[in-house]
Amino acid sequence: QVQLVESGGGLVQAGGSLRLSCAASGSIFSLNVMGWYRQAPGKQRELVAHITSSGSTNYADSVKGRFTISRDNAKNTVALQMNSLKPDDTAVYYCKLVQFGNVFWGQGTQVTVSS
Protein backbone atom coordinates (compact mmCIF):
# COMPACT_ATOMS: atom_id res chain seq x y z
CA GLN A 1 0.00 0.00 0.00
CA VAL A 2 0.95 3.62 -0.50
CA GLN A 3 0.14 6.59 1.70
CA LEU A 4 0.30 10.19 0.47
CA VAL A 5 0.30 13.16 2.82
CA GLU A 6 -0.02 16.69 1.48
CA SER A 7 0.95 19.89 3.23
CA GLY A 8 1.35 23.57 2.44
CA GLY A 9 -2.14 24.73 1.58
CA GLY A 10 -3.65 27.88 2.99
CA LEU A 11 -5.07 31.31 2.29
CA VAL A 12 -3.20 33.74 0.08
CA GLN A 13 -4.01 36.96 -1.74
CA ALA A 14 -4.15 37.08 -5.51
CA GLY A 15 -0.67 37.42 -6.95
CA GLY A 16 0.87 35.57 -4.04
CA SER A 17 2.65 32.23 -3.86
CA LEU A 18 2.26 28.92 -2.09
CA ARG A 19 4.26 25.71 -2.12
CA LEU A 20 2.54 22.38 -1.74
CA SER A 21 4.40 19.25 -0.71
CA CYS A 22 3.43 15.60 -0.82
CA ALA A 23 5.27 12.79 0.91
CA ALA A 24 4.73 9.22 -0.21
CA SER A 25 5.37 6.22 2.01
CA GLY A 26 4.82 2.50 1.80
CA SER A 27 5.54 0.30 -1.21
CA ILE A 28 7.07 2.87 -3.55
CA PHE A 29 8.82 1.62 -6.67
CA SER A 30 11.29 3.54 -8.77
CA LEU A 31 9.01 3.84 -11.80
CA ASN A 32 5.93 5.92 -11.12
CA VAL A 33 4.19 9.13 -11.96
CA MET A 34 3.34 11.67 -9.29
CA GLY A 35 1.11 14.62 -9.77
CA TRP A 36 -1.25 17.23 -8.48
CA TYR A 37 -4.92 17.52 -9.21
CA ARG A 38 -7.45 20.02 -7.93
CA GLN A 39 -11.16 20.17 -7.41
CA ALA A 40 -13.10 23.38 -7.00
CA PRO A 41 -16.64 23.42 -5.54
CA GLY A 42 -19.13 22.16 -8.09
CA LYS A 43 -16.44 21.17 -10.57
CA GLN A 44 -14.75 17.95 -11.58
CA ARG A 45 -11.29 17.08 -10.38
CA GLU A 46 -8.72 18.21 -12.94
CA LEU A 47 -5.06 17.70 -13.63
CA VAL A 48 -2.76 20.50 -12.53
CA ALA A 49 0.61 18.92 -13.29
CA HIS A 50 2.38 15.60 -13.22
CA ILE A 51 5.97 14.44 -13.30
CA THR A 52 7.45 11.06 -14.13
CA SER A 53 10.26 9.42 -12.19
CA SER A 54 12.62 10.49 -14.99
CA GLY A 55 11.56 14.11 -14.61
CA SER A 56 9.25 14.62 -17.58
CA THR A 57 6.51 17.09 -16.76
CA ASN A 58 3.08 18.02 -18.03
CA TYR A 59 1.00 21.03 -17.02
CA ALA A 60 -2.56 22.16 -17.47
CA ASP A 61 -2.72 25.15 -19.79
CA SER A 62 -4.25 27.25 -17.03
CA VAL A 63 -1.15 26.97 -14.84
CA LYS A 64 1.68 26.97 -17.40
CA GLY A 65 4.25 29.60 -16.58
CA ARG A 66 2.94 30.05 -13.05
CA PHE A 67 3.26 26.63 -11.41
CA THR A 68 6.29 24.36 -11.23
CA ILE A 69 6.24 20.70 -10.25
CA SER A 70 9.33 18.95 -8.92
CA ARG A 71 10.16 15.71 -7.17
CA ASP A 72 12.83 14.13 -5.03
CA ASN A 73 13.04 10.45 -5.90
CA ALA A 74 15.28 9.65 -2.96
CA LYS A 75 12.72 11.05 -0.52
CA ASN A 76 9.60 10.05 -2.48
CA THR A 77 8.28 13.58 -2.40
CA VAL A 78 6.68 15.84 -4.96
CA ALA A 79 6.22 19.57 -4.67
CA LEU A 80 4.16 22.18 -6.47
CA GLN A 81 5.40 25.76 -6.44
CA MET A 82 2.50 28.04 -7.24
CA ASN A 83 3.21 31.66 -8.17
CA SER A 84 1.00 34.47 -9.40
CA LEU A 85 -2.00 32.80 -7.84
CA LYS A 86 -5.47 33.76 -9.02
CA PRO A 87 -8.88 33.38 -7.36
CA ASP A 88 -9.66 30.72 -9.99
CA ASP A 89 -6.89 28.60 -8.46
CA THR A 90 -9.00 28.16 -5.33
CA ALA A 91 -9.62 24.45 -4.84
CA VAL A 92 -8.72 21.39 -2.85
CA TYR A 93 -5.41 20.13 -4.20
CA TYR A 94 -4.76 16.40 -4.23
CA CYS A 95 -1.52 14.51 -4.63
CA LYS A 96 -1.66 11.43 -6.84
CA LEU A 97 0.74 8.57 -7.43
CA VAL A 98 0.40 5.97 -10.17
CA GLN A 99 2.56 2.88 -10.34
CA PHE A 100 1.95 -0.38 -12.20
CA GLY A 101 -1.57 0.77 -12.97
CA ASN A 102 -2.44 1.34 -9.33
CA VAL A 103 -3.67 4.79 -8.35
CA PHE A 104 -3.24 6.37 -4.92
CA TRP A 105 -4.57 9.70 -3.67
CA GLY A 106 -3.77 11.94 -0.77
CA GLN A 107 -6.43 13.43 1.46
CA GLY A 108 -6.19 16.87 -0.14
CA THR A 109 -5.17 20.30 1.03
CA GLN A 110 -7.22 23.47 0.66
CA VAL A 111 -5.84 26.41 -1.31
CA THR A 112 -7.86 29.62 -1.16
CA VAL A 113 -6.88 32.68 -3.17
CA SER A 114 -8.61 35.89 -2.22
CA SER A 115 -9.14 38.75 -4.66
pLDDT digit string (tens) for 19-71?
999 999 999 888 899 999 999 999 999 999 999 999 999 999 999 999 999 99
- Residue 4's pLDDT is 97
Q: What percent of the chain has pLDDT over 70?
A: 100
- Residue 30's pLDDT is 82
> Which DSSP helix (H) or strand (E) runs through 68?
strand 67-72
- Residue 93's pLDDT is 98
41 vs 13, 49, 99, 100, CA distance in Å?
19, 19, 29, 31
pLDDT surpassing 90 at residue 104:
yes
